[in-house]
Chain A
Amino acid sequence: QQQVKQSPQSLIVQKGGISIINCAYENTAFDYFPWYQQFPGKGPALLIAIRPDVSEKKEGRFTISFNKSAKQFSLHIMDSQPGDSATYFCAASWNNNDMRFGAGTRLTVKP
């Protein structure tokens, strides 16, 4: 059963804009929330991850915002670039072998 709901399914953003992808989870036992980036023909690659003891984590242009009480977390891509065009997956896990993935968001950044 899907325990991580991701939206939107697809997103089109102009170059330089902010891309925002949202995820919501059900299992309160989840304690690790990674985001993966996948290009066509490639495997998912870890982009950034957060644990629930912090509300925000930033790495370069990528930021995760985490709301434990609402059971939601989001990925913000600042100054979006055409090279960011890819499919993004959120995920959540409570132990090493039970990672649940969202359905993915296809991001297109227009030049």
Chain B
Amino acid sequence: DAGVIQSPRHEVTEMGQEVTLRCKPISGHNSLFWYRQTMMRGLELLIYFNNNVPIDDSGMPEDRFSAKMPNASFSTLKIQPSEPRDSAVYFCASSFSLSSQDNQPQHFGDGTRLSIL
């Protein structure tokens, strides 16, 4: 079974550039999550989609961050303009849930390691 697929695996870019991270969730899953992992703050939820609709983006750090899910099989997380403090590992996860109260396992991709110089 194909798991959650993220691209690119590594991204190094200069401050001020636009960065786009991509995610393909597991087929049939209806919930998609973007997380950021750093040594200082651990795993933080950035945004959550259910049935392609953003439900909770309270974790998005600031207006420089945006996320879209144009269809059930694709999502992007964009940072524009990027800053050195955005350097982290960004994970996408997906799950299938019947409702927002239905806790189900989240399946993570292998992440994108982002370095902003």
Which residues of A approach B to under 8 Å, CB–CB?
A: 31-32, 34, 36, 41-46, 49, 51, 89, 93-99, 101-104
Contacts and interface: CB of A to CB of B under 8 A. Distances in A.
Nearest to B95: A96
Most buried by B among A46, A96, A99: A96
Interface of B: 4, 31, 33, 42-43, 45, 48, 50, 55-56, 91, 93, 95, 97, 99-111
Contacts, number: 58
Given A43-B93, A45-B108, A102-B42, 4 more contacts: A42-B110, A44-B43, A97-B56, A97-B100
Contacts of A36: 108
**A interface: dominant SS:** loop
Contact of B91 (A44, A49, A96, A99): A44
Contacts of A43: 4, 91, 93, 108-111
A94 B33 CA distance: 16
A102 B106 CA distance: 16
Contact of A89 (B43, B95, B103): B43
B108 A44 contact: yes
Contacts of B107: 46
A43 B25 CA distance: 14
Contacts of A45: 108
A49 B110 CA distance: 21
A34 B105 contact: yes
